């Protein structure tokens, strides 16, 4: 398609409609009839609706999309296809674990495979763009949207974000099973103060560049086609109005030439922020910052023409935005096939097909993290009586942002365990209410205790329901609700052969109960195949491989808590130390309860001391760092060997450790392998005091470890001169 020629033929009104996005349901109305409902409140005319460029949301099926596209093409003056966008966050219909769980797999190929599966299901159902990956750096367990992120490490988030983009977009965007990805929320939305959603952020340029921006950049480098600006004000400027961020960094510095979309109604929120006087000023700020599409408000539609007339913005700004939108449509092949491969037959063939369910099952098992096990897990396959107790024992746990997936289509723990142990007597009981504020219930507890007493094994199914995390669901207290804690105490007292499976969309603070739990793992919100995957793990058919990508605190008061923190001038000498006037809490450990990178297995791994092939490294050289890892247990297992580095003295204070690489190693019982990494200059580089990005000469410490708190250190020197 000659999009430049097409642009020349378009009226200004049509161009502005391309730059607007509304709900699919708002576009399905009869444009000849009286405009009512949300269309009327947004003052949309029949002509606006006819030439709108894209739509979002709604649990649409292929048939709905085809119908809406046909209607649109019959009304749009230039027959420019409508783009359908959805939040395909962790699966379209076959739901795999929430992104925080996918991060815990430390398996980029698996992430890509899951996103490919989501792309196939989306594409055949008529979706052409997903608002994913979300790569916001998260450090505060209170924020509900932690579940959408892959964690607290900038580098790992970038790696996983890029793996997601590869899965969605495939080799070729024109492939009928590929969809475009949209990285979000640009930028630093994960740093909302006090973990309260939509709150403000205040971050130095150094911290932005060093910690918050790299993951978005990694997605850009992976050729992500769209970027979404965030809700938060960043250093006083709402992100959607932030020209420094969107034009200077994203477009000029990083060379991004794709489409930038706002978040939902974020332009009008500039007024509520106290930044724009009115919608017209918001539109001016937004286009000057560099946003191409306005989601779910009509500041552009109603004000850009006047702003052009008044000479406050130029038509060339509108043209540039529209060209980027048309380019995306062309790249997606929409001008050749406006349905983007949507087909009811294909939808029925792919959505929830056996192959997709099998992949979701693998992903759910690999994402689970074993946090504690005093010999309780795995349960015996020959057990006669099992008790599954808790508010989440008997329901599908698909989590927030589950797109077209439903809890009813998902396998509950009860269903999974019954399928795995058809001859066992399995009792399923609620134990307590799922409510955050629920008080212990004597009747439910007594029933649970009775069942626990006669069971060979008990699995307590606790944590958070889907609505306790996700957008708008921040929590000030991230410990387990009182009713769940009391249930743990009573059930464990009745039967110590009890394990707890947690469902959670964020790290929970378990400091006050962990001592009373004999075995614990998190399954996050595992998705469609959760119950089967949990049965696989609990019965030892599949080993635990997941490792945390967000620190779990003892207490919420430790937030924000992250492993790549600074040392301070007065670090606590050791966790056991009682020394005063050092950086500590007098009522809580400094360290997390479970650190970044942590995860147990049914086997154990012994890490040897790390070795280096040399202790000095000159400019342009690489070092080889190696460690021997041995499986010292009785079953096969896998663990990610994690490479951490510290720059000991630098022109700016550097974190006590930073993840620079990892490699998964698979070991049979008794097997030992040497794992080696190339240590590159790039791993030593940072945004230095003079603003340049480079490695500074000096001493570095390196660890090859199983988590961010373990491992033996080894040091080396980096010199700028050739040695
Ligand atoms: C969220 C975005 C999402 C958008 C569209 C907003 O409320 O912040 O992450 O993509 O809605 O559903």
Q: What is the pLDDT of residues 119-138, one digit of tens each?
A: 999 999 999 999 999 999 99
CA distance linking residue 418 with residue 407, whole number of Å = 18
CA distance linking residue 98 with residue 96, whole number of Å = 7
Give the residue among 398, 352, 622, 377 at the shortest CA–CA distance from 503. 398
Which atom of ligand 1 lies closest to the CA of 182?
10
Count Cα atoms within 13 angstroms, Cβ side, for 130: 35
| % of the chain beyond a pLDDT of 90 | 98
Q: How far is the CA of 88 from the centre of ligand 1 (A)?
A: 11
Question: Any long-range contacts for 417-420 (C-beta under 8 Å, 24+ apart)?
Answer: 417/386, 417/388, 417/459, 417/531, 417/534, 417/535, 417/538, 419/532, 419/535, 420/532, 420/535, 420/536, 420/539, 420/541
Write out pLDDT tens, residues 170-183.
999 999 999 999 99
Q: Is 263 in the pocket of ligand 1 (CB under 6 A)?
A: yes
Q: Is 536 in the pocket of ligand 1 (CB under 6 A)?
A: no
Instruction: State whether the Cα torsion 124-128-133-136 is positive or negative.
Output: negative
Would you call the peptide bond into 476 cis, given omega within 30 degrees of 0 as the criterion? no
* Contact status, residue 641 vs residue 631, Cβ threshold 8 Å: no
Instruction: State whether the Cα torsion 658-701-614-722 is positive or negative.
Output: positive
Q: Which structure tokens are listed for 467? A: 């609505």
Q: Is 87 in the pocket of ligand 1 (CB under 6 A)?
A: yes
pLDDT of 721 reads 73
Q: Is 189 in the pocket of ligand 1 (CB under 6 A)?
A: no
Number of CB atoms found within 10 A of residue 578's CB: 10
Residue nearest atom 2 in ligand 1 by C-alpha distance: 263
Cβ-count burial of 98 within 10 angstroms (0-12 exposed, 13-18 middle, 19+ buried)?
buried
Name, in order, each residue with C-beta under 8 angstroms of 34's C-beta and a sequence gap of 6 or more.
Answer: none
pLDDT at 24 over 90: yes
* Contact status, residue 638 vs residue 665, Cβ threshold 8 Å: yes
Which atom of ligand 1 lies closest to the CA of 134?
9
Give the residue among 73, 162, 62 at the shortest CA–CA distance from 120. 62
φ/ψ of 367, rounded to 5, equals -80, -20
> Can you tell me the mean pLDDT for 320-348?
97
* Contact status, residue 533 vs residue 365, Cβ threshold 8 Å: yes
Task: Calculate the dihedral angle through the C-alpha atoms of 170, 174, 177, 183, rounding to the nearest 10 degrees.
Answer: 50
| Average confidence score pLDDT of the chain | 97
Q: Which structure tokens are listed for 318? A: 């509108």
Q: Is 184 in the pocket of ligand 1 (CB under 6 A)?
A: yes
Q: Is 131 in the pocket of ligand 1 (CB under 6 A)?
A: yes
* Contact status, residue 362 vs residue 107, Cβ threshold 8 Å: no
CA distance linking residue 645 with residue 648, whole number of Å = 9
Residue for token digits 């929830």? 352
Q: How far is the CA of 600 from the centre of ligand 1 (A)?
A: 35
Active-site entry in 263, 330, 536, 707? 263
CA distance linking residue 60 with residue 93, whole number of Å = 11
CA distance linking residue 66 with residue 126, whole number of Å = 7
Residue for token digits 């793996």? 163
Q: Is 145 in the pocket of ligand 1 (CB under 6 A)?
A: no
Q: How confident is the model at residue 720 (pLDDT cuts 50, 70, 90)?
A: confident
Confirm whether 394 is a catalytic residue: no
pLDDT of 58 reads 84
Q: How far is the CA of 464 from the centre of ligand 1 (A)?
A: 21
| % of the chain beyond a pLDDT of 70 | 100
Q: How confident is the model at residue 723 (pLDDT cuts 50, 70, 90)?
A: low
Q: How far is the CA of 397 from the centre of ligand 1 (A)?
A: 21
Residue for token digits 């746990």? 397
Helix/strand/coil for 356: helix
Q: How far is the CA of 56 from the centre of ligand 1 (A)?
A: 10
Q: How far is the CA of 263 from the centre of ligand 1 (A)?
A: 6
Which atom of ligand 1 lies closest to the CA of 185?
9
Residue for token digits 């808790």? 390
Write out pLDDT tens, residues 37-70.
999 999 999 999 999 999 998 888 999 999 999 9
Q: Is 269 in the pocket of ligand 1 (CB under 6 A)?
A: no
Probe target for ligand 1 pocket from 259, 471, 474, with the most ligand atoms within 8 Å of CB: 471
Q: How far is the CA of 620 from the centre of ligand 1 (A)?
A: 43
pLDDT at 194 over 80: yes
Helix/strand/coil for 521: strand
Q: Is 547 in the pocket of ligand 1 (CB under 6 A)?
A: no
* Contact status, residue 387 vs residue 498, Cβ threshold 8 Å: no
pLDDT at 722 over 70: no
Write out pLDDT tens, residues 617-640.
999 999 999 999 999 999 999 999
Q: How far is the CA of 86 from the centre of ligand 1 (A)?
A: 9
| Helices and strands in the chain: count of H runs, count of E runs | 23, 27
Helix/strand/coil for 277: coil
Q: Which structure tokens are listed for 579? A: 């020394």
Q: How far is the CA of 213 from the centre of ligand 1 (A)?
A: 20
Q: Is 264 in the pocket of ligand 1 (CB under 6 A)?
A: yes
Q: Is 302 in the pocket of ligand 1 (CB under 6 A)?
A: no
CA distance linking residue 620 with residue 673, whole number of Å = 29
CA distance linking residue 465 with residue 479, whole number of Å = 14
Write out pLDDT tens, residues 472-525.
999 999 999 999 999 999 999 999 999 999 999 999 999 999 999 999 999 999
* Contact status, residue 114 vs residue 168, Cβ threshold 8 Å: no
Q: Is 471 in the pocket of ligand 1 (CB under 6 A)?
A: yes
Q: How far is the CA of 632 from the centre of ligand 1 (A)?
A: 46
Q: How confident is the model at residue 288 (pLDDT cuts 50, 70, 90)?
A: very high
Residue by residue, DSSP assigns 551-567 as PBPSSGGG-S--SS---
Q: How far is the CA of 134 from the centre of ligand 1 (A)?
A: 10
pLDDT at 438 over 90: no
Q: Is 197 in the pocket of ligand 1 (CB under 6 A)?
A: no
Residue nearest atom 12 in ligand 1 by C-alpha distance: 87
* Contact status, residue 639 vs residue 706, Cβ threshold 8 Å: yes
Write out pLDDT tens, residues 142-169.
999 999 999 999 999 999 999 999 999 9
Which atom of ligand 1 lies closest to the CA of 228?
10
* Contact status, residue 134 vs residue 224, Cβ threshold 8 Å: no
Write out pLDDT tens, residues 262-287.
999 999 999 999 999 999 999 999 99
Probe target for ligand 1 pocket from 264, 294, 295, with the most ligand atoms within 8 Å of CB: 264
Probe target for ligand 1 pocket from 23, 26, 58, 87, with the most ligand atoms within 8 Å of CB: 87
Probe target for ligand 1 pocket from 263, 268, 293, with the most ligand atoms within 8 Å of CB: 263
Which atom of ligand 1 lies closest to the CA of 231?
8
Write out pLDDT tens, residues 393-413.
999 999 999 999 999 999 999
φ/ψ of 145, rounded to 5, equals -85, 5
Q: Is 23 in the pocket of ligand 1 (CB under 6 A)?
A: no
Q: Is 335 in the pocket of ligand 1 (CB under 6 A)?
A: no
- 241-265 burial: b if 16+ Cβ within 10 Å, else e: bbeebbbebbbeeeebebbbbbbbb
């Amino acid at each position: 398609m000659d999009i430049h020629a097409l642009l020349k033929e378009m009226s200004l009104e049509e161009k502005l409609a391309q730059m607007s996005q509304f709900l699919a349901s708002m576009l399905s109305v009869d444009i000849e009839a009286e405009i009512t409902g949300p269309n009327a409140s947004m003052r949309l005319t029949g002509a606006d609706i006819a030439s709108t460029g894209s739509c979002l949301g709604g649990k649409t099926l292929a048939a709905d999309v085809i119908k809406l596209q046909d209607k649109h093409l019959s009304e749009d003056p230039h027959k420019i296809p409508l783009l359908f966008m959805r939040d395909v966050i962790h699966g379209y219909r076959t739901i795999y674990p929430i992104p925080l769980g996918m991060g815990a797999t430390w398996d980029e190929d698996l992430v890509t495979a899951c996103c490919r599966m989501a792309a196939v299901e989306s594409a055949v159902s008529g979706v052409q763009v997903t608002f994913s990956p979300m790569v916001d750096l998260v450090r505060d367990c209170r924020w509900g949207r932690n579940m959408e992120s892959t964690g607290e490490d900038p580098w790992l988030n970038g790696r996983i974000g890029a793996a997601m983009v590869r899965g969605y977009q495939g080799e070729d965007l024109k492939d009928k099973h590929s969809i475009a990805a949209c990285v979000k929320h640009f930028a630093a939305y994960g740093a909302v103060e006090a973990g309260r959603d939509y709150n403000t952020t205040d971050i130095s340029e150094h911290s932005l560049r060093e910690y918050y921006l790299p993951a978005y950049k990694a997605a850009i480098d992976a050729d992500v086609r769209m970027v979404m600006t965030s809700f938060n004000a960043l250093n006083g400027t709402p992100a959607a109005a932030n020209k420094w961020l969107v034009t200077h960094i994203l477009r000029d510095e990083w060379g991004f030439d794709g489409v930038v979309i706002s978040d939902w109604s974020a332009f009008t929120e500039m007024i509520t922020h106290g930044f724009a006087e009115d919608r017209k000023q918001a539109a001016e700020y937004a286009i000057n910052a560099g946003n191409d599409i306005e989601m779910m408000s009509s500041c552009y539609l109603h004000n850009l023409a006047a702003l052009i007339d008044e000479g406050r913005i130029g038509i060339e700004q509108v043209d540039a935005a529209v060209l980027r939108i048309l380019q995306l449509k062309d790249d997606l092949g929409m001008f050749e096939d406006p349905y983007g491969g949507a087909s009811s037959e294909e939808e029925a063939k792919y959505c929830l097909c056996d192959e997709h369910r099998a992949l979701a099952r693998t992903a759910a098992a690999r994402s689970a993290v074993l946090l504690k096990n005093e010999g309780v897990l795995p349960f015996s396959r020959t057990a006669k009586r099992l008790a599954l107790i808790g508010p989440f024992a008997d329901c599908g746990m698909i989590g927030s942002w589950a797109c077209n997936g439903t809890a009813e289509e998902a396998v509950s723990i009860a269903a999974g365990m019954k399928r795995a142990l058809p001859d066992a007597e399995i009792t399923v009981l609620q134990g307590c209410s799922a409510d955050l504020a629920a008080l212990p219930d004597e009747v439910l507890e007594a029933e649970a205790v009775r069942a626990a007493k006669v069971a060979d094994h008990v699995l307590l199914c606790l944590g958070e329901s889907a609505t306790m995390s996700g957008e708008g669901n921040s929590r000030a207290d991230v410990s387990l609700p009182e009713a769940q804690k009391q249930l743990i105490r009573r059930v464990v007292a009745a039967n110590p052969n009890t394990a707890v499976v947690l469902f959670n969309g964020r790290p929970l603070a378990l400091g006050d109960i962990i001592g009373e739990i004999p075995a614990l793992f998190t399954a996050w919100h595992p998705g469609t195949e959760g119950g089967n995957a949990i049965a696989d793990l609990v019965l030892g058919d599949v080993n635990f491989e997941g490792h945390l990508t967000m620190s779990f605190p003892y207490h919420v008061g430790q937030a924000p808590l992250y492993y790549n923190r600074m040392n301070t001038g007065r670090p606590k000498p050791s966790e056991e130390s009682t020394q005063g006037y050092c950086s500590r809490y007098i009522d809580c450990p400094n360290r997390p309860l479970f650190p970044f990178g942590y995860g147990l297995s049914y086997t154990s791994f012994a890490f040897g001391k790390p070795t280096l092939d040399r202790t000095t490294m000159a400019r342009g050289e690489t070092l080889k760092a190696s460690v021997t890892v041995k499986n010292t247990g009785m079953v096969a297992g896998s663990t990610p060997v994690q490479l951490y580095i510290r720059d000991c003295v630098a022109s700016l204070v550097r974190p006590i450790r930073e993840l620079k690489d990892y490699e998964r190693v698979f070991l049979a019982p008794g097997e030992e392998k040497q794992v080696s990494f190339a240590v590159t200059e790039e791993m030593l580089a940072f945004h230095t005091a003079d603003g340049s990005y480079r490695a500074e000469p000096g001493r570095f410490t390196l660890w090859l470890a199983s988590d961010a708190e373990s491992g033996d250190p080894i040091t080396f020197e980096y010199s700028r001169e050739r040695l």
